[in-house]
Structure 1
Amino acid sequence: MYALNKTLLWLSSAISLTLAAEAWALSVNGSAALTSDYVWRGTSQTRGDPAVQGSLKLSTDSGWYASVWGSNVEFDGADANTEWDITAGWSGALNPDWSLDLNSIYYRYPSTSPHLNWIEFGGTVTWKQNYWLSAWWSDDVMASDENGAYLQLGGRTYFNSLWRFEGLLGYYWLDHSYANSYGHAQLSLIRSITPNLEWRTSFHTTDSTAKSLFPDQGGERLEVALQFSF
């Protein structure tokens, strides 16, 4: 409990400092999405059911930002029905080719008992805006009180101004919390309908370990989503 309270205090302080540091230079953007399945790191968070999602982000000219993202969820054996991801961090260009994003994410599931809330730290290095490597770590992964780490390698290519393809590989080290680890892959075809609206079709697959760790959540699945950004 002390660790959680300390984490919440740090997170609220980080968000407050982010917003107060350069209030005169804040910009606001966000998104709203409807998806056939909420898939996170290869596994369904809605057990194959649709999800409605939305986000709001405040950022400064110097790169500091705070954001909140929400979705409905459905877990086996838990009463969680909503997820809120609260993020604070910094992102910016290191040079014309390389950029960096460092942040912490607080995963909150209101009204759950026992509480499923947890926090992780990590970041993403991006090359030429189209290729990325992300790494994450938590000492309370998925509210297990144990360490866990995640690594993702991805890239995208544009066919033209309307169509692009994205692919990624990920691996989740959960040996301490779930006595095993798993890998997954994702392939996505994205169509820009307008500058602010896009259609995404994604194929997800996990290894057999994910299927045994998270029954009805791992395996192969197709996801379609419509997203509006502002």
Structure 2
Amino acid sequence: MKQILAAAVPACLGTLFCATLAMPAAAQMPLGDSGLTLTVTPVLSSDYLFRGISQTRNRPGIQGTADLQHDSGIYIGAFATNVAFPGTNARQELDLAAGYRFAAGAATFDLGAIYYTYPGYDAPPGGHEFNYVEAIAKASYTLEPLKLVGTAAWSPNFYFESGDAFYLEGGADLSLPAGFTLSGRLGHQWIGRNSRYGAPDYANWQVVASREIVAGITLAVGYYDTSLSRSECFSGTKFCEARAMVTLSKIF
């Protein structure tokens, strides 16, 4: 996908659950008296999207996130998933994250970095690497029943060696009766070398409803879309089109 049909769309630390590594999870397992807590989140989804674009050729994703945080706010984490990129042997994605989380009143902040990797991928002769690093900052402000959220990310050399890339996203989570949460996000991706990346700069948005259904398992149903037309989407693919997505997750 991306630049050629042999290119992949970059990853994310989960679709709806990108925040798993970005903010402390509700369920955590203390590791003795070490001051460390471990959070593990398996996810099943009908697709795997990164900033509105499918990473699995519109097919289901099986994912897992692990997060280890110290009481000081320092953390490390990892996210693994299947991927499917046309014309490549990339089948797995492994993202490694590290950073610092802290709170100031009703606001929380996460300053960190993510290394996106695709184990087993072999770049063709003269081809470009998929792996890249992204600095990322997240913030949220809670004013019950509303939580405002924002994300800013920058990569010095984005996916497929496409140069400087910036991403901004804002949104809100609204707590509703009967345990439901309604979430909305609007973001925009800028890429330094669009011709190499394979698509122009674009906007993406989503509206998601979620609720715990049984034994800590959360069901999320959402609508996702981008501003990219089919002709603009990596040589005319369907990976940027509007879609509904269903996700099941459980935080341990």
CA contact (8 A) 1:181 1:209 kept: no
CA contact (8 A) 1:52 1:72 kept: yes
Aligned to 2:26: none
Alpha carbons of 1:103 and 1:175: their partners in 2 closer, same or farther (altered >3 Å)? Answer: same
Task: Tell me the distance in 2 between the aligned counterparts of 1:80 and 1:103.
Answer: 26
Residues 1:228 and 2:250 aligned together: yes
Gaps of 5+ in 1: 1-22
**Structure with higher RCO (Cα < 8 A, 6+ apart):** 2
Q: Which moved more, 1:116-125 or 1:206-215?
A: 206-215
> Scaled by the length of structure 2, what TM-score is found?
0.78
Aligned to 1:203: 223
Tell me, what secondary structure is at the counterpart of 2:167? strand
Tell me, what secondary structure is at the counterpart of 1:217? coil
Task: Tell me the distance in 1 between the aligned counterparts of 2:87 and 2:163.
Answer: 20
The CA RMSD measured in Å over matched residues stands at 1.7
Q: Note the alpha carbon deviations across 1:13-47, whole angstroms, 9 max, x for none.
A: xxxxxxxxxx9211111100110000110000001
Tell me, what secondary structure is at the counterpart of 1:227? strand
Q: Note the alpha carbon deviations across 1:153-210, whole angstroms, 9 max, x for none.
A: 0111011252110000010001424372000110101011246210000110111357
Residues 1:36 and 2:46 aligned together: yes
- What is the correspondence of 1:32-181 to structure 2 with a 5 Å cutoff? 32-94=42-104, 96-114=105-123, 115-128=129-142, 130-177=147-194, 178=197, 180-181=200-201
Residues 1:185 and 2:179 aligned together: no
Task: Tell me the distance in 1 between the aligned counterparts of 2:45 and 2:233.
Answer: 24
Q: Note the alpha carbon deviations across 1:52-84, whole angstroms, 9 max, x for none.
A: 001111000010000001110011222111111
- Specify the code of the residue in structure 2 equivalent to 1:186: Q
Gaps of 5+ in 2: 1-32, 124-128
Tell me, what secondary structure is at the counterpart of 1:128? strand
More helix per residue = 1
Alpha carbons of 1:137 and 1:54: their partners in 2 closer, same or farther (altered >3 Å)? Answer: same
Q: Note the alpha carbon deviations across 1:122-163, whole angstroms, 9 max, x for none.
A: 111211171111000001111315111111101110112521
Q: Sequence identity of aligned pairs in percent?
A: 29
How many residue pairs get aligned? The number is 207
Tell me, what secondary structure is at the counterpart of 2:159? helix
